Amino acid sequence: PVPKDYETVYNNFLKNFNDIQSGNARVNVAGCAYEISGEQAGLFLDIISHLVGITLQTQSMRTLGLFEVLQSYEDEYGKNVRQKGRLTFSDFPYFLSKRNKLTSGLIDLLEYRMDAKYDHWLLDEFQDTSREQWDAIENLIDECAMDPGAGRSSFIVGDIKQSIYAWRGGDSRIFNEQKRKYKNLGPERFRETNLDESRRSSEPVITTVNSIFGNKDEIQSLFPSIEGRWEFKEHTTVHKDRPGFTSWISAEKAPRWKELDAKLELIAEVIRKINPSENKLSIGVLVQQNKTGNLITKYLREHTNLKVTNDAKICIAKDNAAGIALLSIFRFSAHPGDKFSSGHIMMSPFRKIVEDKFPDIERFGNFIRSSVWKNQFTETVRELVSYIDFDDFNSMRVNQLLKAAVIFDNRGSRSIDEFVRFMENFTLRETGEPGSVQVMTIHQSKGLTFDSVILPELGGNTFLSTDLGTEIKYNENHEPQWILSMPNKGIVEADTQLNQYNTEKVANATYEQICKFYVALTRAKYANYLITEESEIGKSTRDNFVGLISKTIKSEDLNNGTLYSCGDPEWYEKIVQEEGTPPIQKKSLPLPSENLRREKTTQSVTEELSEKLTSKDIFTPGTAL
């Protein structure tokens, strides 16, 4: 390894690489500043350039090694999975791409058949389309769009201000590229409609959105890397008489590790004022990280009487006492020597069943194994929980666990170990309902509407930094130009090509961050509440979202921690309940496995679960154990 002192000196020279190139640099070494100029600067430039070259050569070899590993995996995966017809959704764009030379003949045949079948194409959320996806369908869309007889059409809908899925391949630039291409067809074949009138939000919500995202001068000043890229036309709303409100509240200054704690009571206070259960209103608490959402969910469940749901994936067997105890019961029944599980059972409410119904816990384990063999897991769990009184939260989880057990039983397995593994990994996304509070990430909220939205996580790192891993540089034809496992930041900045790549990546990441907060502030029908902590404002003078709202909407005239206010703070008392749109009636699908195993007509999945899993069935004691 390189000695620490040498590494420090090397990094100091890298920081001044451009000055050394210009022939006049000032470099700190061991606390002393040294002037480097003239011939001496040239010598140091040769040394530093050589070290940079060695580092890049090493990274290239590492990248090649990574390629060899991935190629071996790809060969095995192709032979044992793809060649047997087991394709995932992500495989299809690759095989259908016009860039895939291996399947070009088959693609021509497939495109011919599809082109003959479909005369009109409708594409929604087009800003999230990836290059691979577009390559797979571009020829088909072009054929319809350029039809000389004008009997065919392509209808494309998208909003590049909502481009928040670049991390999974979405490329919003495709939208404008195709718009320019189709615009050349002339007014007879091309029509563009801008949808700048909101049909969701109140006037105060839209006014705030315009003030923040319509201030192009401040956006360009704070984030020069996206110069000319942010497109925004002033929004209006059809709901000009709808009551509404937007405010920005700041919690008192707290230590860094307690910044969220300072906001939690503010979140609860806002929710109590709105009183969603009484006023039949929905509230969305939108965060940037699932970890933050989980902490907020826990706090609100402990400090409010409302039903609080979390749209993160929840392991329903591991976040509640009932589920954990049931897992211990099944582990012990499969492994009678498991002292930890048996001890847990005897410390749980299930102890009463063991003591009242069986001479010892070993006989209890025998009963569980016998019940699983005779009745499968759903009925075994149902009988166990029928003897226990649960609180509301654990009752909800027990219902969900029973539904999960039905899914496992439909596989036909009676392996207790497999059942335990299945339940440990089974996850659900909880959904909200009128009068409840729903906590989720901003990404998960896309496309959803809430009566009110609370945004307690607006700070975070600067937009101008990105993590570099193994990166792919594409050329102007969107073909891979090079792939490299990137070196550290100093080396990247010292190399012209790598520095240019990093600058482009920062610009794309900055654009996506602005889009993310635009999505967050346009989810509310009536009101938005922005919550920060005092120190976040001081730290955010330039380059993140708190910095942007500080420049665009922050008021110096308001007191009591309120930094911005627009609209009526008592909006929730003035709402006239609107008639909702009737839900679309969906037909239930039959359970495929039932069709395969039985000749008689089977119930739908929804009907079967609702029939078997009513609360009455779960909590009414059945036959004694």
- Map out the domains of the chain with their CATH numbers: 4-77 (no CATH), 91-193 (3.40.50.300), 199-312+434-461+511-573 (3.40.50.300), 334-427+590-619 (no CATH)
CA-to-CA separations, 316 to 65, 68, 404, 522, 589, in angstroms, rounded: 41, 40, 9, 31, 25
Question: CB count, 10 Å around CB of 300?
Answer: 21
Predicted confidence (pLDDT) at residue 601 exceeds the cutoff of 60: no
The helix, strand and coil proportions of the chain, stated in percent and rounded to the nearest 5, come to 55, 15, 30
Least confident of 127-141, 335-349, 568-582: 568-582
What is the reported pLDDT for 561?
Answer: 83
Residues 6+ apart with CB under 8 A from 296: 260, 264, 267, 285, 287, 439, 456
d(CA 322, CA 392): 12
Q: Kindly report the number of other CB atoms within 10 A of residue 244's CB atom.
A: 27
Q: Which range, of 427-441, 560-574, 591-605, averages the lowest pLDDT? A: 591-605
Query: Token pair for residue 548?
Result: 């942007």
**Tens of pLDDT along 410-445?**
999 999 999 999 999 999 876 656 788 999 999 999
pTM for the complete prediction?
Answer: 0.75
CB atoms within 10 A of CB 285: 29
Burial class (CB in 10 A: 0-12, 13-18, 19+), 439: buried
If pLDDT is split at 50, 70 and 90, which confidence band does 617 have?
very low
- For the stretch 125-176, pLDDT in tens is 999 999 989 988 898 899 888 887 778 889 999 999 999 998 888 998 999 9
Decide if 534 contacts 250 (C-beta within 8 A): yes
